[in-house]
Amino acid sequence: MSFSLPLMESNITAADRQAVIDFLQGDPILTQSAQVRAFEKEWSEWLGVRHSVFVNSGASANFITMAALRHLRGPGEVIVPTLTWVSDISSVLAAGHTPVFMDIDPRTLAMDPKQVIASLNQNTRAVFLTHCQGFDGLTDELIAELAQHGIPLIEDVCESHGATHNGQKAGSFGLASNFSFYFAHHMSTIEGGMVCTDDDDLYQTVRMLRSHGMVREADNPAFRATWEEASPDLNPKFIFAYASGNSRSTEINAVIGRSQLPRLDANNRKRTENFKLFLSLLDPSLYRTDFQVEGSVNYAFNLVMNRPDNAFRDRLTAAMDANGIEHRRGSAGGGNQLRQPYLDGIAPPKKDIPRLFPQVDHIHFYGFYIGNYPSLDETRIRTLCDILNSVQPT
């Protein structure tokens, strides 16, 4: 097989490895310390927010953000997408909130903003929006409506580092935002994630939740003093304000993140060029090519069939397999989350899903993603599209 296109090619470079070697030669502290603090500061400056908290995964970022929302605002409804990663919804459930599911906008794969606005009510604690696979999932109308209702936006930007809305980076609009630095994403710390916010109380709460709910993890003395004065019978070093666990990351992960961050913007520009070329070469009679690309930094080539056709889908899948084109059917996170077993008894009955959520269900059965990364050249993208366009319906 001469042609091969994996979902991702290694994004840990020789420079990243050397940065780790240089760091280790200094006999450093390896648990969370100065490198983590430096990475948090540099990430905040890049994103344009006041605070960032480095954790061990994007999933952990989701879980402690949803827990912080409950502690600060109480339980309630959280509006969630149907096309996302499992931890977005499982974190809502784990924090005791009630997920309210939305269908998607097919041009961005994010929640349909009109459905979101129509669903806002006095029990809505937050809108947890996923910027899916590099697309900008926001609209001006949604931002304005949330502000008018006083309902916080929480942005999942795990797949969209550097996406923008009206020139402002995704992840800097809401009460909080979550990022993942998993291997396949725009930049990697091998494993890792970040919670970002401009809100001081949320920041202090997330810092504590990251490390067993310990009050000493807050870096604001006045914030700590409130808890210490309320618990005079406890050692101030061991006050556990919240039931939590350990979501800390390490100095080595932070070193890799600091090495990768300076080249993130240039890599994103190459991804965007790749994606536009991909869309320009796809046969629009077979596949959707009308995605909203303004502000996007796509780490995937989104391949969505125009029409439901099981036979065509199966031939397409076989052609990708035969040509070494790694792909994921259902696009993000296994497709329509409502069809996953962990939501049995919570999601609507499966017989009702096609009627209630037709857009995400189409993606679930007739959508794929294929890897897009800076090392791809024009020749490989053209070959990819030739293969995809060569498959025809009956």
Asked, for residue 1, whether it belongs to a domain, the answer is no
* Same domain flag for 271 and 256: no
| Amino acid at position 122, single letter | Q
Q: State what percent of residues in the chain have pLDDT above 90.
A: 96
User: Which of 215, 236, 261 is a domain's end point?
Assistant: 261
- What the block records as the tokens of 238 is 């061991």
Asked, for residue 8, whether it belongs to a domain, the answer is no
Residue of 99, 95, 132, 131 whose CA lies nearest to 206: 95
* Same domain flag for 52 and 155: yes
What pLDDT score was predicted for residue 183?
87
Give every CB contact of residue 121 below 8 A, 6+ residues apart in sequence: 77
Contact 78, 346 (CB under 8 A): no
* Same domain flag for 221 and 305: no
- What the block records as the tokens of 382 is 């053209």
Asked, for residue 9, whether it belongs to a domain, the answer is no
Contact 162, 186 (CB under 8 A): yes
Residue-range definition of the domain harbouring residue 359: 264-390
What pLDDT score was predicted for residue 376?
95
User: Which of 203, 237, 261 is a domain's end point?
Assistant: 261
User: Which of 205, 229, 261 is a domain's end point?
Assistant: 261
* Same domain flag for 73 and 213: yes
pLDDT in tens, 168-192: 999 999 999 999 999 889 999 999 9
Domains contained in the chain, number: 2
What pLDDT score was predicted for residue 138?
98
pLDDT in tens, 47-104: 999 999 999 999 999 999 999 999 999 999 999 999 999 999 999 999 999 999 999 9
What pLDDT score was predicted for residue 2?
74
* Same domain flag for 54 and 76: yes
Q: State what percent of residues in the chain have pLDDT above 70.
A: 100
Say how far residue 60 (Cα) sits from the centre of its chain: 12
* Same domain flag for 209 and 324: no
* Same domain flag for 309 and 377: yes
Would the pLDDT of 14 be above 90?
yes
Give every CB contact of residue 47 below 8 A, 6+ residues apart in sequence: 169, 171, 172, 177, 196
Q: Tokens 């459930």 identify what position?
A: 93
d(CA 2, CA 179): 36
* Same domain flag for 123 and 211: yes
Asked, for residue 132, whether it belongs to a domain, the answer is yes
What pLDDT score was predicted for residue 189?
97
Would the pLDDT of 257 be above 80?
yes
d(CA 318, CA 142): 40
- What the block records as the tokens of 126 is 């937050």
Q: What CATH number does the domain containing 237 carry? A: 3.40.640.10
* Same domain flag for 141 and 275: no
* Same domain flag for 236 and 272: no
State the helix-helix crossing angle for 310-322 and 378-390, rounded to 10 degrees. 140
Asked, for residue 307, whether it belongs to a domain, the answer is yes
* Same domain flag for 292 and 371: yes
Asked, for residue 7, whether it belongs to a domain, the answer is no
Asked, for residue 151, whether it belongs to a domain, the answer is yes
d(CA 60, CA 365): 29
Asked, for residue 209, whether it belongs to a domain, the answer is yes
Mean pLDDT over 350-367 rounds to 97
What pLDDT score was predicted for residue 319?
97
* Same domain flag for 215 and 312: no
**Whole-structure pTM value:** 0.96
d(CA 160, CA 169): 10
Q: What CATH number does the domain containing 335 carry? A: 3.90.1150.10
Q: What angle do CA 365, 84, 374 make, to 5 degrees?
A: 90
